[in-house]
Amino acid sequence: MPVTENWKPTIVAFCCNWCSYAGADLAGSSRLAYPADVKIIKVPCSCRVNPMFILRAFEKGADGVILCGCHPGDCHYSTGNYYARRRMTLLFSMLDYLGVEDGRTRVEWVSAAEGVKFSETMNSFVEKVRALGPNVRLGDLRCKN
């Protein structure tokens, strides 16, 4: 894909069903804008997301991947997001170690009441990924055509 002025990154957002997805809903019903290039995938808990989900998203063409869950301490299943936090911390550190641009991955805790935060998070994340350009280092060439 040629990078032009109008190039828009593809963003995959894994959102926990109980907080962040509801936060996205609230952002929508409050008419807060966030880019349409954000593809939301609803997951039962941020803990459901394993590193393969993240890599798979990049493989299939995502330029940035963000994981949103309940604030630590507020997990619907009480502790899921604590485990997710450790996993993502290690995974992101590994991706940095491999030389993947660090702006392409992010975790943000967004509650059901934080429609504004959701929209702001997405806007800032999309902007950051846009600045980085298309994902080359973690993409599968076969998915490019």
Q: How far apart are the first and last CA of the chain?
A: 9
Pick 131 or 143: Cβ nearer another protein? 143
Name which of residues 46 to 75 contact another protein (CB under 8 A): 51-52, 55, 59-61, 72-73
Q: Which long-range contacts (CB under 8 A, 24 or more apart) does 26-32 make?
A: 26/112, 26/113, 26/114, 26/115, 26/118, 27/115, 27/116, 27/118, 27/119, 28/115, 29/115, 30/115, 30/116, 32/115, 32/116, 32/118, 32/119
Q: Does 133 participate in binding another protein (rule CB under 8 A)? A: no
Using CB under 8 A as the binding rule, the residues of this chain from 3 to 42 that contact another protein are none
Binding mask 72-91 for another protein (x = CB under 8 A): xx-----x--xx-xxxxxxx
One residue of 10, 20, 105, 111 binding another protein per CB under 8 A: 105
Q: Which chain residues interact with another protein by CB under 8 A?
A: 51-52, 55, 59-61, 72-73, 79, 82-83, 85-102, 105-107, 137-143, 145
